[in-house]
Amino acid sequence: MKNNKLKIDSEEFAKLVMQSESCLRDTPEATAKANLTLFLTAKVLAERFNDIEEEAFKPDVLADYDMTIARLQTMALSSFSSHK
């Protein structure tokens, strides 16, 4: 499996989310709270994605993936050969 790991800059992602979404509320404080919530939620979401992505590319996970692919290929070849 190739190492096509993605990494999101969580701070930049949160800033982009803030730019794309308007959280206007009745009062300045309510607007600030809504925007802060949006920013922090986007930042945490990107960090969680990065953690999951990092786990998926650990050597033992990659070895399991490669072994599973090899087994599937072997099963497919044996199945194909028996149907000839």
Residue-wise pLDDT tens digits, 58-76 = 777 667 777 778 878 887 7
Largest CA distance in the chain: 74
Residue 28 near residue 36, CB atoms below 8 Å: no
58 compared with 36, residue with greater pLDDT: 36
Structure tokens at 35: 């925007």
24 compared with 64, residue with greater pLDDT: 24
Structure tokens at 43: 């930042």
